[in-house]
Each structure stands twice: as structure tokens, then as C-alpha cells.
Amino acid sequence: MPIPPLYGHEGIRNRLVGAIASGRLPQALLFEGPRGVGKQRLALWLAQTLLCENPENGEPCGRCQACKLVGKLSHPDLHWFVPVEPAKKAADADKQVDLVAEALAEQLAARRAGGPLYEPPSGLASHGIASVRLMLRRLALTPALGRRKVFVIGEAERLVPQTGAEAAANALLKALEEPPADTVFVLTSSEPDALLPTILSRVVRVRVARNADSIVAAFAQRELGLKSQRDIAERVTAADGSIGKLLATEEGAGTGQAAQAFQSAVAGGPVQRYGFALRQAPFQARGGFTAMLDGLLEQLREQARAGGETAKVVEAIACTLAARGLAQGNVNPQLVAAVLADQLAEAR
């Protein structure tokens, strides 16, 4: 599924187009601004602009092979790094890099499949030293299709310094200070003050502001298919100029549906319970699976407030809280879901 069009930020886009046309685009940029305003999407637009084969008035044409590949997050010269937490651990440095590459590939596959909706990284996800080493490996590659490589480093405040790995960290700083002639770095952050001062000193900072409500409303209508003007108005007001917040509200609705599907599976007997458990992704328990458990907790608490069978509901809440604790330890979600389903079935 192609990523959705970029909405808003015309002023920044015009300035970037002008900088490209005049040959003055900095090679290391930091897009900073409130969470969810579209900083990474803007960075992908810039990558598409730089990699486009036939730009029109400085904008990507959207029709060439390069534009289509960027839209599918498949362009070999676009390197999008997001914080990850590899499902496995390894002592060997090369193996650590391989595991990070696998985790990144999984994240991008999920973002290709999910369209505009994708889950935020877990609290423990980061750009660790293995991610830095992977960046340096890819930095040494020559462009595969075009004349440039573009590195997008999302949530750059999660770049983690690590004792004993100063050489790799210094190499990244050197690359930001003097990037190869064929490379552009775009970092994004909603917490720029949390970045290392040595990184801030090597990038040109670009403030990305909130969008106008009219732009958020257009996204809601065109990309989410919302029809009710009242619903759109309420959602846009809650979004406060952030399409990311609008999508988080949409995701919350999906979380509630997942929690309801789990309760239905529990009531449906062993086959449905275990079938639901096996459908869970066997990795990243802190992501969508934890969100489903949070939705389940809210539904159970609502049942308690409505005066349901208190003892049974309290037992179900306790079991769900225990499952959520296991999920934070990154235990296999399939196993946790199967055990919790059995516990809830017994409590019914």
C-alpha cells in the first residue's frame, strides 16, 4: 500500500524546493516540531523530491520509477531508520547489525501494509550502536538507481551513546559534519533538546509547525473516509493541528475492536481462543498487543462501573494486568494471549 500524500507544510516545502534549485540544500537537516505533525512524512517527501527522475517545478512528479519506489518505501537509495528493539540478542557485533536490519525490515513491511496508520515504537526501542553501524555500512554504498542517497532518521532523540563504541559514534558525527557528496541526512525529533549537543551542532534545524484545521479535515475526509461533518469537526478539534493525533484516535478505535474480538474469541470456545492467539504477531509485544490489552482493560473496567458480576470482572482485570506486565517483558504475545484467554474463560 503506497504511503498517503503529504498534507500541509507548504511554506517549508517551498523553501526546500528553492534550496534544491539553487544548490544550497544543507546535507544534514533536523525537522523538529510537535509529535504527530508529519515530520517523517515531510522527510520522505524531501527524499522523493531528491530522488525523482523528472521533478516538476521542483516537486516530485509522482509517476517515475523513483517516485513510485519511494511511495512504496522500496527505493534502494532511501534508508529510513526508525527506533527498533530487536527480538533477539547477540554478543557478536556483526550479528547485532544483522538483527537490527531484520527489525528495521519488519517495521518497514508493517508501514507498507498499514498505510497511514503505524504504531509508535516501544518505549525501549532506540537507535543503538548496532543501528549506527548499519547506517555506516549503508553510507559506504554507492547510489543504486540515482545520484543520491537519502537517510531519514526518525525520532533521532533516541540515538543512544554507548560506552566502548565511541569509534562508531564518532564516525556518525563525522558523517553528519561532512556527509559524502552523494548523501543527504534528514533527522526528525519532537524532543530536539534531548539530542546530543554534538549532533545539534552538525545539523540545520527546521521548525515544523502544526497544520491548519482545514488541512487535517481534508486528510480525515480523503484518507480516512470520514463523512459525518460533526465527527470530522470533533476529531479535528481533538487533533490540534496534528494528523498523527488524528490517526492515534483512529488507532484507538481499532484497539477497541481488537479487544472486543478477543472477548468474543474467549466466549467462543477453545478453537476460537487459540485461533485468536495464533493470529498475534510473534514479536513486539509492547506494540499492538499491549494496546489491545489496554483496550481490554478499559472494557473490563467499564463492565465493573456498569455493575457487572464484580468478583468475576475483578479477577479478569487482575489477569489482564498480569498479562500486560508479561508483555512489557517482551514475552511471546501468542503464548500470553493463549494463557489469558484460558484464564478469562475460566472466570466467566
Position 220 scores a pLDDT of 86
**Quick check: 13 pLDDT over 70?**
yes
Are 233 and 126 in a shared domain?
Answer: no
> Is 140 among the domain residues?
yes
Are 315 and 300 in a shared domain?
Answer: yes
Position 194 scores a pLDDT of 85
Are 179 and 306 in a shared domain?
Answer: no
Instruction: Please state at what angle helix 270-278 crosses helix 243-267, rounded to 10 degrees.
Output: 150
Are 248 and 111 in a shared domain?
Answer: no
> Is 263 among the domain residues?
yes
> Is 186 among the domain residues?
yes
> Is 4 among the domain residues?
no
Which pLDDT band, with edges at 50, 70 and 90, does 201 fall under? very high
Are 63 and 32 in a shared domain?
Answer: yes
Are 216 and 199 in a shared domain?
Answer: no
Segment 203-260, tens digit of pLDDT: 999 999 999 999 999 988 888 788 888 888 888 888 889 888 777 655 545 566 778 8
Position 68 scores a pLDDT of 94
Segment 140-175, tens digit of pLDDT: 999 999 899 999 999 998 887 665 556 666 788 888
Give me the CATH number covering residue 122. Answer: 3.40.50.300
Position 324 scores a pLDDT of 83
Contact predicate 222/88, CB 8 Å: no
Are 72 and 145 in a shared domain?
Answer: yes
Segment 21-40, tens digit of pLDDT: 999 999 999 999 998 899 99
From CA 66, how far away is CA 57, in angstroms rounded? 17
Are 271 and 143 in a shared domain?
Answer: no
Q: Which of 190, 225, 241 is the last residue of a domain?
A: 241
pTM value? 0.72
Segment 170-199, tens digit of pLDDT: 788 888 988 999 999 999 998 898 888 888
Are 249 and 180 in a shared domain?
Answer: no
> Is 318 among the domain residues?
yes
Stretch 59-68: mean pLDDT: 93
> Is 2 among the domain residues?
no
- Percent pLDDT > 90 in the chain is 37
**Quick check: 347 pLDDT over 90?**
no
**Quick check: 320 pLDDT over 70?**
yes
Are 232 and 186 in a shared domain?
Answer: no
Segment 84-101, tens digit of pLDDT: 877 677 778 889 899 999
Are 258 and 161 in a shared domain?
Answer: no
Averaged pLDDT score across all residues of the chain: 85
Name the grid cell of 270: 477453545
Are 120 and 165 in a shared domain?
Answer: yes
Domain ranges, residue 217: 211-241
> Is 3 among the domain residues?
no
Highest mean pLDDT among 94-108, 268-282, 293-307: 94-108
> Is 1 among the domain residues?
no
Position 271 scores a pLDDT of 84
Count of domains for the chain: 3
